Amino acid sequence: MHSTYPGSASNPSMELTVKIFCKSDPNLNLSVRDNKVVLAKANPSDKHQLWYKDDKFGSNVKDEEGFPSFALVNKATGLALKHASGATQLVQLEPFRPFEFDKSLMWSEGKVIDNEGYRAIRMANDIHLNMDAYLGDRPQVQDGNEIGLWEWNSGNNQIWKISPHSPGHEKQGCHASSEGRLEHHGHDGPYSSSDTHHSSHFDSASSLSKKPAVKIFCKSDPNLNLSVRDNKLVLAKANPSDEHQLWYKDDKFGSNVKDEEGFPGFALVNKATGLALKHASGATQLVQLERFKANEFDKSLIWSEGKVIDNEGYRAIRMANDIHLNMDAYLGDRPQVQDGNEIGLWEWNSGNNQIWKISPHSVSGHEKHGGHKFGEGRSDCHGDDCPYSSHTHHSYHSGHASNLSKEPTVKICCKADPELNLSVRFDKVVLAKADPYDEHQHWFKDDKFGSNVKDEEGFPGFALVNKATGLALKHACGATQPVQLACFNSNDLSLMWSESKVLIMKAIDV
């Protein structure tokens, strides 16, 4: 048995813990006791009640409704929830191996059931079998209640919430809009709100400082970026060198915190100041700024994007806990937004000053401002500037040169013959007879821009990078033309692909 989750130190996505409870009694948490999965009276100090939600395979392995899969790993023991052998049987536990895919450890959440955010948790490969707190002949769940699988009956003992754990602050039971916010104080946060405005002073331990920055602009004038000026949130004339116009989109709580339409929550943190966008006090009031503390959940800093409004990818940005209040570039009596324009909240009126785009920032200056439709110009990379060499053939093993080298690989096959994998052969993209030891058949799915770059149906963009060569799939020059290969460059939109809705349930093995 492990006292802590094995490998969590090497898995940044696994550093945040969650608690899991059913609606039947939110004061009982899912726990491990005597090597069994049970409900236990809530105790925030008991690590047996804390879990890691490992969703690294979620972009590739979906349930039949298209919801991403994940594993649930107990913090105290390192054991993962394993499917029961069938209906009416108990959920099992098994040691978790972070980089091995085991479909019997894969679960998914269904759609939101009610306005409190509860969902079914079910086997990813059989969504008809749901996690169920067995009642037997009891009217109510209780401490020690065992957990099994059962066909859907819509009982409160079958709907669950996976909720971020915030020691000492978080109210047990939900993240509903009526709850109080989580305060944070002191000067120990990873992002400085001082007037020095040096982004290089971001704590090196923070994952945000290593993430790509984004810029944010409204359709009313895409040449004005959201910025911080004199501790106020304003629009400013686009300047790619001004870090006050750059933001980190922190979506680590997004898999657990959704708005009422099911869109994930996120925080927006200014690169220069470390200040995060905070909800205004109400309609017609100005959006505020507050010092961001990376590992504390504060619902007043959580925003969501609505559905895509037009074919350019613009969306509303609104409070995650009240989607009727939208970010609005105040016009007043002006016909158009302008430099220095303040930003507030307003009820939806569908104006161009209310629809926004969160767009990847291109340091190299190749990015076309105002839109990210797939197929726009690419920026070539040559020589030593290319992070993945097509000559060394093992660039991913070269240490810190790439974050992708630490990611799990995927194989890609079509339904016409699943025994043939997508591969690189003689600098061409081909199908090859499946060979698990051939790294030319292994790919990294780089989806770091997926929350910002969408196709016209709203599906996230990603790059596919070959493990053996470091070359990425590049758009063909047109219909009927072969797909190309190019040196990987994260600012090149011609390397961005998307997946459509699920046509048939098919897990991609890794």
Q: Token pair 């749901």 is at which residue?
A: 130
Is pTM, for the whole model, over 0.75?
no
Q: Which single residue is written with the structure tokens 């430099």?
A: 339
In a domain, 458, yes or no: yes
CA 119 to chain centre: 18
pLDDT for position 21: 97
Both 395 and 428 in one domain: the answer is yes
**What CATH number does the domain containing 423 carry?**
2.80.10.50
- Closest Cα partner for 144 from 34, 235, 234? 34
Q: Are 150 and 25 within one domain? A: yes
List the domain range (segments joined by +) for residue 494. Answer: 383-498
Considering the domain boundaries, does residue 54 fall inside one?
yes
Note whether 114 and 237 are same-domain residues: no
Residues 155 and 239 in one domain: no
The helix (run of H) or strand (run of E) holding residue 435 is none
Looking at residue 151, its pLDDT comes to 94
- pLDDT 10s per residue in the chain (510 long)? 343 444 433 343 446 889 999 999 999 999 999 999 999 999 999 999 999 999 888 878 889 988 889 999 999 999 999 999 999 999 999 999 887 889 999 999 999 888 788 999 999 999 999 999 998 888 889 999 999 999 999 999 999 999 887 654 444 443 333 333 222 333 333 333 333 333 333 443 355 666 788 999 999 999 999 999 999 999 999 998 999 999 999 988 887 788 888 888 999 999 999 999 999 988 999 999 999 988 788 899 999 999 988 878 899 999 999 999 999 999 887 888 999 999 999 999 999 999 999 988 765 443 444 433 333 333 333 333 333 333 333 333 333 334 666 678 899 999 999 999 999 988 789 999 999 888 899 999 988 777 777 787 778 889 999 998 888 999 987 787 889 888 777 667 788 899 987 765 444 443
Question: Do 456 and 324 share a structural domain?
Answer: no
Classify the C-alpha dihedral 434-439-441-445 as positive or negative.
positive
Residues 192 and 186 sit within 8 Å (Cβ to Cβ): no
Q: Looking at the domain assignment, is residue 369 inside a domain?
A: no
Last residue of one domain, picked from the residues 139, 164, 189: 164
Name residue, tokens 């963009």.
461
308, 439: one domain? no
CA distances to 69, 100, 428 from 443, rounded to whole Å, are: 19, 16, 14
Q: Are residues 154 and 279 in the same domain?
A: no
Per-residue pLDDT at 334: 83
- Structural domain count, the chain: 3
The values of phi and psi at residue 396, to 5°, are -70, -15
Q: Which residues contact 58 (CB under 8 A, 6 or more apart)?
A: 68, 69, 70, 255
Determine, yes or no, domain membership for 275.
yes
User: What is the rounded CA–CA span in Å between residue 475 and residue 34?
Assistant: 54
Q: Nearest-CA neighbor of 213 among 249, 177, 179?
A: 249
Do 119 and 231 belong together in one domain?
no
Question: Which of 360, 395, 427 marks a domain boundary?
Answer: 360
Residue 189 lies in a domain: no
Q: Judge if 486 and 394 occupy the same domain.
A: yes
Amino acid symbol at 115: N
Within 13 A of 125's CA, how many CA atoms are on the CB side? 16
Residue 473 lies in a domain: yes
The per-residue pLDDT for 473 is 95
Residues 18, 82 within the same domain: yes
Are 84 and 121 part of one and the same domain?
A: yes
Q: Within a domain: residue 433?
A: yes
The pLDDT assigned to 207 comes to 59
- Separation CA 177–CA 402 (nearest Å): 40
Q: Is residue 509 part of a domain?
A: no
288 Cβ contact partners less than 8 Å away, ≥ 6 residues apart: 233, 277, 278, 279, 280, 281
- Looking at the structure, do residues 204 and 316 belong to the same domain, yes or no? yes
